[in-house]
Chains A and B, each alone.
Chain A
Amino acid sequence: MTSISRLPSGAGVGLRLPQIAEVVATRPSVGWLEIHPENFLANPHATELLTELSQHYFISVHSVGISIGSVGGIDRLHLKRVRALVDRINPVFVSGHLAWSTYGGEYLNDLLPLPYNLEALRLIEAHVREVQETLGRRYLIENPSSYIGFRTSMMSEAEFLSELVGRTGCQLLCDVSNAYISAQNMGYDVYQYIDSLPADAIGEVHLGGFTVEEDEASPGAELLIDTHAAAIAEPVWNLYAHAIRRFGARPTLIEWDNNIPLFAALLAEAAHADEVVAGTMALEARCADAC
């Protein structure tokens, strides 16, 4: 299991393939880096560069292909390949999503939604155990961004995640932007959602940008799309401050996957996350003193 002394102190950024040569060459000052293993498994050159970076930075491995919600089971070959990469770079976290992507041997290249009921919970519990056993470490599960729910859901997403933590000992990756997007799209109170997550289980936080579209399901209304193609919106920064108050400071990562800006812009977002944490913690300390 990851020891506390190995946790990164400042905010990190997602490292995408187009930026890797620049990061190797310039070694920017940043708390840590997160990668998608699926981008590296068929790219020995990028893996070689990543291995070099792992000597200088905390690395987190964030899988988009370990489909813990698939009824067909985990793709064991893929999991083994992820394990080999994990063994090579010894990351600080390994995480994935509360979602499914594979059906009948097809990989649908998207994080698809699940009903929150007992059948899904039992299936995912078994799969998280399998992932943790194969990787030999704790797995972090990220809350999804949702556009669709299911009539067969019997519990809330926060209840489902809390149950999963209790049953498997996994940790949670709280994507504050995803929480905001899902709550806006599905019509519930996002502050209540954050308050009902098990704070002790939160191992990592994500922040990313979204895009606003017209909701074709409800003409005239807006739908938030989790594109990771823009700067982090103000309401998400506010929600992040609330999450920090509730969870305490957690290793936080900026995700930007499309229309990727200069690396300096990512570093600026990470620096802003650090400022939000510092400001929130200072305010909390003053409140505690005043009490």
Chain B
Amino acid sequence: MPTLAETQKFFRNAVVGDEMAGIQSLIVGGRDASKRLEIHRRNYETSLVTALLGKFPATVWLAGTPFVSEAARHFVCEHPPHAPCIAEYGERFPGFLSACPGAERVPYLREFAELEWHVGHIAVAVDQPPVSLQEFSAINDEALLNMVLALQPGVRYLHMSWPIDELMKLYLTETAADSFEFSPADAWIQARGARGEFHMDRLDASEFIFRKSISEGQAIVGAAERALDADPTFDPGRALVRVVAEGLVTAIMSGSEGDK
């Protein structure tokens, strides 16, 4: 008698891998129970493909339903989810999609799908109470340099090699442009969202590097040095005031401890 572990292994292989050999002799249901396994195979594939298409509607708009659906079907077979929260499934789909045969006709597909993935997540974030400029100015300048800042959960910094934010705006406004000039160009994008809304802003390279470094946990001094490497005229003091004034900072911490 097969163990439960063997039974589940055979069942898994039938549902994900379409391998019927192990499970066939173990199951009952109708005259040919193996035919009924199709229901579970379908549940697995259809539910995950539907979830992916629902998560990447702009990418479907850009690349077409047949192409994205076919890629999604392969993706769910090759990369099953690892956790029950399906909203978190699909982070690797942009990379997978852009490696599919035919994707080369849309060289910005990966970046566009990655932007959409991030937008989907920031749009359901909830803003935290921001640190005010007064709270900030109470910290002496020298101590401030070594501080690490926590930013709003709904903010992302994305350096793209195509102006894909323009393309995304076209999708969002349902604009059917007669002609759309699209050529490679660096775009440093801050995407920010909360409670069902989001917006995308362009930053210049040094401001982007400063904010992204902070978002990655760099101390203020380190973030400033990186930005200055990119642009020696960068003014860290003013940049920091802008970050705080925009309500992006939710906590000020020393490099090694908790909140100050």
- B 98-109 binary contact with A (CB < 8 Å = 1; else 0): 000000000000
Of the stretches B64-72, B81-89, B141-149, B216-224, the one at the interface is B81-89
List B79-131 residues whose CB lies under 8 Å from chain A: 80-88, 121, 123-126
- B 1-39 binary contact with A (CB < 8 Å = 1; else 0): 111110111011001100000000111111111111111
Contact call B37/A65, Cβ cutoff below 8 A? no
Separation in Å of the A140 CB from the closest CB of chain B? 18
B169 at the interface (CB under 8 A from A): no
B194 at the interface (CB under 8 A from A): yes
User: Please, which residue of chain B has its CB at the minimum distance from the CB of A186?
Assistant: B29
Of the stretches B43-51, B184-192, B225-233, the one at the interface is B43-51
Of the stretches A143-151, A201-209, A239-247, the one at the interface is A143-151
Contact call B82/A106, Cβ cutoff below 8 A? yes
> Complex: how many Å from CA A289 to CA B27?
49
A109 at the interface (CB under 8 A from B): yes
Tell me which residues across on chain B come within 8 A of A81, comparing CB atoms: 85
Tell me which residues across on chain A come within 8 A of B28, comparing CB atoms: 148-151
Interface of B is mostly: helix
> Complex: how many Å from CA A38 to CA B31?
36
B242 at the interface (CB under 8 A from A): no
Contact call A119/B86, Cβ cutoff below 8 A? no
Tell me which residues across on chain B come within 8 A of A39, comparing CB atoms: 87
Q: Contacting B82 at CB < 8 Å: which of A71, A105, A115, A185? A: A105
Contact call B7/A152, Cβ cutoff below 8 A? yes
List A93-143 residues whose CB lies under 8 Å from chain B: 100-110, 112, 114-115, 119-120, 123
User: Please, which residue of chain A has its CB at the minimum distance from the CB of B82?
Assistant: A105
Of the stretches A160-168, A212-220, A259-267, the one at the interface is A212-220
User: Please, which residue of chain A has its CB at the minimum distance from the CB of B123?
Assistant: A45
Number of residue pairs A-B, CB distance < 8 angstroms: 147
Q: Contacting B126 at CB < 8 Å: which of A45, A66, A218, A221? A: A45
Contact call A44/B7, Cβ cutoff below 8 A? no
> Complex: how many Å from CA A103 to CA B86?
16
Tell me which residues across on chain B come within 8 A of A42, comparing CB atoms: 85, 87-88, 121, 124
Tell me which residues across on chain B come within 8 A of A66, comparing CB atoms: 84
User: Please, which residue of chain B has its CB at the minimum distance from the CB of A124?
Assistant: B4
Q: Contacting A109 at CB < 8 Å: which of B31, B34, B43, B195? A: B43
Q: A148-B29, A217-B29 are in contact. List 18 more A-B contacts (CB 8 A).
A: A43-B87, A45-B123, A45-B195, A46-B124, A48-B195, A65-B84, A100-B8, A101-B84, A103-B11, A104-B12, A112-B15, A112-B40, A149-B29, A150-B28, A151-B27, A215-B30, A215-B35, A223-B39
Sample 30 A-B pairs with CB under 8 A, ordered by A number: A39-B87, A43-B124, A45-B123, A45-B125, A45-B195, A63-B84, A65-B83, A65-B85, A66-B84, A77-B83, A78-B83, A81-B85, A106-B12, A109-B44, A109-B47, A109-B84, A110-B40, A112-B11, A112-B40, A120-B4, A123-B4, A148-B37, A149-B28, A149-B33, A151-B27, A152-B2, A185-B29, A215-B36, A216-B35, A217-B36
Which 7 A-B residue pairs are closest in the complex by CB-CB distance? A65-B84, A217-B30, A218-B30, A42-B87, A217-B35, A106-B80, A216-B35
